[in-house]
Structure 1
Amino acid sequence: MKVVILPDSFKESLDAAQVASAIHKGFASVFPKAEYHLLPLADGGEGTVQALIASNGGIVESVSVTGPLNEPVMAKIAFSIDEKTAFIEMAEACGLHLVPLEKRNPLHTTSYGVGELILYAINRGVSELIIGVGGSSTNDGGIGMASALGYEFYDKLGNKLSGNGQALFKVSSMSDTNRSLKLNDVKITIAADVVNPLTGENGATFIFGPQKGLTKSQLPEMDIAMGNFFRIAGHVIGKEVSQIPGSGAGGGMGAGLMLFANASIKKGIELVLEQLKVKEICKDADLVIVGEGRMDGQTAFGKAPVGAASCAPPTAKVIAICGSIGNGSEELYKHGIDAIFPTIPAILPIEEIMNNAFENIERTARNIAVLLKGNIGS
């Protein structure tokens, strides 16, 4: 029996490699002679750099940049073996995991560090950049990133603005006079983990703002401010990006990179699956196991589990293991997933669930393997 294990991370508890290891441990206790392939995935969010660099080797460096709360953080950046391509993960510089729960407020967080990582890579002489834009604590439309790249933004009185979410409410004009000219010499590809537009009821603010700290009452005004910011900036630059699928990724970073860095956008999971040659590895699989921390209706829109499931051959069973199940998860059965198994064993404090994630996943995987034993080869 050939088993291919293709999980994304369980946010704020286990990275994708740890999840894959837990699933393998559970299955191997029941099917010790099976052929296993562990391929940790990412869809443009956290873990994207690790997944991409694993596909072609290379080196990983840590760079001090401005964090989401304007305090220094050490962010990882990866380079291909020939050092012509750099892999950047937005979450390394301004990820949600970098902001304590009590300080989560997208009005105060910034993506400035992402711009610093871009400049670091360009100054190293790379000709191509791949940037994962998921898992952020920001909803600043990339204004912080753009400020680091040399763009300047002003309020109606001509005062220069800092690059955070609050600045979107105040932007009246901008200047690209000091924009880094080195941006002209690099090809930038966005690896997006969602296909949401920039604004509207399915946009960055309404869909992802609450998990980053925005209250329900703040959402309409924040959404309007985001739209106004891109109307002003788009008029100056001569480009409209707000309706492009994925422009709402990373709190509007998808749109920001397309507008301010002339980036192109691609579904992150498609890029990772290509790099890891997942379809080739799965072609004769008997069982494909996918998963992420929470599976709901949003999972169908460019997330890793559905992308991975599409690589399974028609004869394979596709099983999903997740931390929890949310509204709309039944939609996933239309996307190649045969069954979904949550790992949370009981109503417990969130800290206990997070701390026991490995054991919960291992136990669930073992239970699934026991269920399958006798109905599938060994």
Structure 2
Amino acid sequence: MKILIAPDSFKGSLSSVIAANTIEKAIIEALPSADTSTFPMADGGEGTVDAILLSTSGQRIVRMVRDPLDRPIEAGFGWLPDEKTAIIETAAASGLPLLTTHEQNPLHATTYGTGQLLKEALDLGAETIILGLGGSATVDAGVGLFQALGLNVFDENDVLIDRVGGSLQQIHRIDTSALDPRLQRVNVIVASDVTNPLLGPNGAISIFGPQKGVTPDMISPLESGMDHFSSVVIQHTNRNEINTPGSGAAGGIGFLLHSLLNVTFRPGLDLVVELTGLKKLLPAMDLIITGEGKVDGQSLFGKVPVGLGKLAKEYGIPVVAFAGSIGEGIEQLEREGVSVVHPIVTGPMPLEQAMANGEDLLFDATVRLIKTIQL
């Protein structure tokens, strides 16, 4: 039996690499004759760089940049020298996992470090930059990112603002004259499955803010600040990208990317599949095992299990998805090629316990699956 092992990360518990290796070890123990291939996956968020580098001749470049709270941190990005392509995750320098729960501060968190990584990629001679927007700790609309690349922003007294974070109401004028000119020559591809607009009930603040530390009483002032800032940008650029799909991604980074650059938004999983050459392996496979932390109806929107299910459906390959937890709507996944969703937990348990024991739970669940198949 030829089995392709291609999980996403189980966020907060297992990286996609560890998850893939765990599943493979369990299969080898339960069915030594199996022919396994591991392909850790990602959808543009955390793990995208690892997924691509494991399947290519690329390398990881590590630089000292600033974290969301402007502290020095080492962060890396992927570099494919032959293609002159850089793969950068917003989460690497501006991600929520870099902060403790008590450190989450949407008013001060900045994407400046991500901009520094983009500059490092440009310095290497990048002709294409793939920017994954998942997992940011910020609602600064990408102001910090562009400040690292030469954007200047000013307050109502026309005084230059150094770091604005999510307090976008302070900005009354922007100046793009010092923006790195290489940004207009490089091909920027944004890996994101988010199609939300910038503002409103489906926008950056209302939908994604709470996971970054935005409390209910902060939503209205932050929304007002984002609205104010967008009007400043529209006045400067004569481009209204508020409702452009993806403008609400990563705390509004998508909006400023659309407004200041000519960027292409693509589903993150499609890019990973394309760059890793995974599709070439599918015709020879008998089974695909994937998974992620939570599988539910939202998995239909660009998540790894459903993306793989759609690909596998073309070849008639069954797909099993492991899940740390299962939510409503999983019955819809079958029509997209996901044959069955298996929980890895063995019974009711606190979330912290499940996440702490994720590796053991996934191993045991895989052994159970293989024994069931052998029946």
* TM-score of the superposed pair, with normalisation by structure 1: 0.92
Partner Cα distance (1:231, 1:54) in 2: 43
CA distance in 1, matches of 2:95, 2:193: 14
Match of 2:122 in 1: 122
- 1:230-261 deviations in whole A, cap 9, x for unaligned? 23213312323332332222222222223234
Partner residue, 1:148:
148
- Report Cα offsets for 1:14-55 as digits up to 9, x if no partner: 111111111222233332212212111111101111122233
Instruction: Please tell me whether residue 324 in structure 1 is matched to residue 328 in structure 2.
Output: no
For residues 266-281 of structure 1, what are the structure 2 equivalents within 5 Å?
266-281=266-281
Q: Which moved more, 1:4-13 or 1:161-170?
A: 161-170
Cross-structure match for 1:207:
207
Task: Tell me which moved more, 128-137 or 161-170.
Answer: 161-170
What pairs up with 1:87-126 in 2 under 5 angstroms? 87-126=87-126
Q: Secondary structure at the match of 2:208?
A: helix
In structure 1, distance between residues paired with 2:5 and 2:133: 24
Task: Give the structure 2 partner of residue 13 of structure 1.
Answer: 13
Mapped to 1, the partners of 2:201 and 2:19 lie a distance apart of: 33
CA contact (8 A) 1:141 1:256 kept: yes
Which has the larger displacement, 324-333 or 269-278?
A: 324-333
The count of corresponding residues between Structure 1 and Structure 2 is 374
What percentage of aligned pairs have identical amino acids?
A: 37
Query: Gaps (5+ residues) in structure 1?
Result: none
Amino acid at match of 1:362: F
Identify the residue that residue 60 of structure 1 maps to in structure 2. Answer: 60
Does the CA contact (< 8 Å) of 1:69 and 1:110 recur in 2?
A: yes
Match of 1:360 in 2: 361
Cα deviation, residue 145, structure 1: 0.4
Mapped to 1, the partners of 2:265 and 2:155 lie a distance apart of 30
Deviation by residue 1:89-125 (Cα, 9 ceiling, x = unmatched)? 1111111110011111222211000111111111222
Which stretch shows the higher mean deviation, 84-93 or 194-203?
194-203
Q: Does the CA contact (< 8 Å) of 1:104 and 1:137 recur in 2?
A: yes
Work out the CA distance in 1 between the residues paired with 2:212 and 2:276.
Answer: 31
Stretch moving more, 350-359 or 264-273:
350-359
Offset of residue 209 of structure 1 = 1.4
2:374 partner letter: K
5+ residue gaps in structure 2? none
2: distance between equivalents of 1:138 and 1:322? 27
Q: 1:231 & 1:6 partners in 2: Cα distance?
A: 43
2-side partners of 1:204 and 1:116: how far apart?
23
Give the direction of change, closer, same or farther, for the CA distance of 1:194–1:363 in structure 2 (3 Å limit): farther
Write the distance in 2 (CA, Å) between the matches of 1:264 and 1:82. 22
Q: CA offset at residue 179 of structure 1?
A: 1.2
Query: What SS is found at the alignment partner of 1:322?
Result: strand
Aligned partner of 1:192 in structure 2 is 192
RMSD in angstroms over aligned alpha carbons? Answer: 2.0
SS at match of 1:258: helix
Residue 31 (structure 2) aligns with? 31
Cross-structure match for 1:132:
132
Is the Cα contact below 8 Å between 2:138 and 2:166 reproduced in 1?
Answer: no
Residues 161, 131 of structure 1: alpha-carbon distance in 2 compared, 3 angstrom cutoff: same
In structure 2, how many angstroms separate the alpha carbons of the residues matched to 1:186 and 1:261? 10
| Kept after mapping to 1: 8 A contact 2:60/2:78 | yes
Q: Read off the aligned partner of 1:150 and give its amino acid letter.
A: G
2:167/2:222 contact within 8 Å kept = no
Deviates more, 1:273-282 or 1:86-95: 273-282
Farther-moved stretch of structure 1 (92-101 vs 190-199): 190-199
Measured at CA, do residues 186 and 208 of structure 1 come closer, stay the same or move farther in structure 2, by a change above 3 Å? same
Per the alignment, do residues 339 and 217 of structure 1 end up closer, same or farther by CA in structure 2, a change over 3 Å counting?
farther
Q: Match of 1:46, as an amino acid?
A: E
Partner SS state of residue 166, structure 1: coil
Report the secondary structure of 1:7's partner residue.
coil
SS of 1:52's partner is helix
Task: Indicate if the aligned counterparts of 1:3 and 1:287 stay in contact, CA closer than 8 A.
Answer: yes
Shift of 1:83: 6.4
Report what 2:338 is aligned to.
Answer: 337
Cα deviation, 1:156-182, whole Å, max 9, x if unaligned, reads: 232333444432222222111221122
Higher alpha-carbon deviation: 27-36 or 352-361: 27-36
In the superposition, relative to structure 1, how do residues 117 and 346 fare at CA in structure 2: closer, same or farther (>3 Å)? Answer: same
The 3-state SS of whatever aligns with 1:319 is: strand
Matches within 5 A, 1:209-224: 209-224=209-224
CA contact (8 A) 1:195 1:301 kept: no
1:12 shift after superposition: 2.1
SS of equivalent to 1:310 = helix
Letter in 2 for 1:359: D
Residue pair 1:344, 1:360 contacting (<8 A) in 2 also: yes
CA–CA separation in structure 1 for the residues paired with 2:282 and 2:224: 45
In the TM superposition, residue 350 of structure 1 has moved relative to its aligned partner by 4.0
Partner of 1:251: 251
Cα distance in structure 1, aligned partners of 2:42 and 2:34:
25
